[in-house]
Structure 1
Amino acid sequence: MWSFGFRLAPCWAAKKRPSDPDRVRDWLLEQVRTADYAILSIDQLVYGGIVPSRLHRLTEAACMERLTLARQLKEINPSVKLLAFNLIMRAPAYSSSEEEPDYYALYGAELCERGEAARSASNRMDGGRAVSV
């Protein structure tokens, strides 16, 4: 018989407003002491949420610093199994800034169309094989 206990991190993000990275870090550092597994959202850990990951103005150094938390978690509890994931940023096919940068209200659909055109051109140049753009 398997028994699972889940502890969900309190999330203080609200659409475009990121969560408080210090509160999330402190909560994880406390919880990992007795955890067997930890599932980490990289978008949450680094940017404060999925929507804030599209809007951030963080430096690369600041992002990398926030990622060091994973190493700290393993130092506190070497036996914890860390599982991490992040989402691939989307480019919606419509113009709206509700969950996107403000410029998407004017240019969202056009940016999507340009991305599709670039992918199509790349596929034609590569003989129709799937390629990364």
Structure 2
Amino acid sequence: MHKMDITYINKDEIVSMAEKMLSEKRRLVIMNGYVDKEGNNVIAYNFDIDGNLKTYICKGEKTFPTITHIYKGSAQWCEEDICEVMEVDFEGLKKGDRLFLPDDFDGSGQILVTPIEELRNKYKEKVDEEENK
């Protein structure tokens, strides 16, 4: 079984952390972004450390430094994706075209995922309504 290791960092530590990981020849597996229950932006940097996952988490910021100059396309794709669906910016990121949102999307708000339990309840309510017609 793989081990997961999480370290919380501040945004001033992101670039040096990425440089250290690259110097150790650690692969950037993926970067994730989400908004936690308190409304804080959270960015998670996930690295492969000898088959285990090492995650660095930075939260509560609106801007983060880019690591595309360190991890090139691996970081760029993730950072562009995160910018597209969250109200965050990566300083120094040279954005290309939109990845999946329509061109007329104005960038306001964010895309939120509906929890599965809420979807199940809505589905059950709809089925109950149909049965009672």
TM-score > 0.5, shorter chain as reference: no
Bigger helix fraction: 1
Bigger strand fraction: 2
